[in-house]
Amino acid sequence: MNNKRILYIGNNLTKKTKYNSTLIVLTNLLRKEGVSVIVSSDKINKLLRLLDMCFSLIRNRKKIDYVLIDTFSAINFYYALVISQLSRLFNIKYIPILHGGNLPDRLNRNEFFSDLIFNYSYKNVAPSNYLKSAFEEKGYQVIFIPNIVEIENYNFKLRESLEPKLFWVRAFKEIYNPTLAIKVLSILKKEYPKAILCMVGPFVDNSYQKCLELVSDLKLEDSVEFTGVLLKEDWHKKSTDFDIFINTTNFDNTPVSVMEGMALGLPIISTNAGGMPYLIENEVEGLLVEKDNAMKMSIEIINVLKGNYPKMSEIAREKVEGFSWELVKNKWFKILK
């Protein structure tokens, strides 16, 4: 691997957002294995970011062996489209890395562009069997390589006595349905008046304002904490004061934040959106409920608090230990040969 040279195309915004993305994790691990990795782009403006990605590819076209492309379902889909076609023009092997629970819908809406990207790639990599299955149904060849959890950095806390202290980690975006967490808390407080909720993540759209308004309407100001973005080590430390991790999303793949919660020993209660049933076996590694159902999520939280699933967090930890770099890296080495 020491002689391999890679251009990694994605949103390299960690320094600005404090969010340690999968791009940064994979890049750092590949570099430790002796791989030369160039990353683009760190531009905030979306047009400038796309131009920077294109210039990075053109500038390094004779120096690189592969282009890795983080591929999402929204505007970033078009970044992947442009970069993939430039890679074809320069006869460079490119590998889309599939992210985002709404990518299957994108395949249906943009069949022509999807074919241009995924039919001509060197490999397509899916971090979940959910996306792998969805892409294979459309006739694309896909390799499953899970997102990496650097398990040695996660201290497992066995919570022998659980309290109604809820922890939520995600961007405040409509697709992640953050207001559901507040509705759940409101229901839970009827049986557990001292229940609290901590919500960690960047404020991306007006869903944060909706959360504030809902907190005010339900008079939960003393029970909800919004931290904004926290460095990974900071939210890991904060999580030790909480006992249940909730994931409220309407669209999902295999979210790293949920995997991290599993690694830290937090019992997971999530919607069954997208790839969640592929990540968590219901009633074994976590609990899954239908989307946007505050009552059902509240009931499952109460079941956990009453000790109905005593081994769930330990089983979940064992699951994510299988996503360590030592177990995953050979999958990358096999395609980056």
Q: What is the CATH number of the domain that holds 29?
A: 3.40.50
Residues 89 and 190 in one domain: no
**Whole-model pTM?**
0.91
Residues 104 and 203 in one domain: no
pLDDT digits (tens, 9 = 90+) for 75-126: 899 999 999 999 999 999 999 999 988 899 999 999 999 999 999 999 999 9
Residues of the chain with pLDDT under 50: none
> What gap in Å lies between CA 144 and CA 133, rounded to an integer?
10
Residues 155 and 142 in one domain: no
Residues 84 and 230 in one domain: no
Residue 38 belongs to what domain range? 5-146+325-335
Q: Are 142 and 136 in contact (CB under 8 A)?
A: yes
Q: Are 148 and 324 in contact (CB under 8 A)?
A: yes
Specify the number of domains making up the chain: 2
**CA angle centred on 320, ends 124 and 133, rounded to 5°:** 30
> What gap in Å lies between CA 336 and CA 236, rounded to an integer?
32
pLDDT at site 137: 96
pLDDT at site 289: 98
Residues 41 and 103 in one domain: yes
Structure tokens given for 229: 């973005």
pLDDT at site 2: 65
pLDDT at site 12: 83
Residues 105 and 225 in one domain: no
pLDDT at site 16: 61
Q: Which distant-in-sequence residues (6+ apart) come within 8 Å of 117 by Cβ? A: 71, 80, 81, 84, 96
pLDDT at site 185: 98
pLDDT at site 277: 96
Strand-pair category, 196-200 with 165-169: parallel
Residues 200 and 86 in one domain: no
Residues 218 and 257 in one domain: yes
Residues 142 and 242 in one domain: no
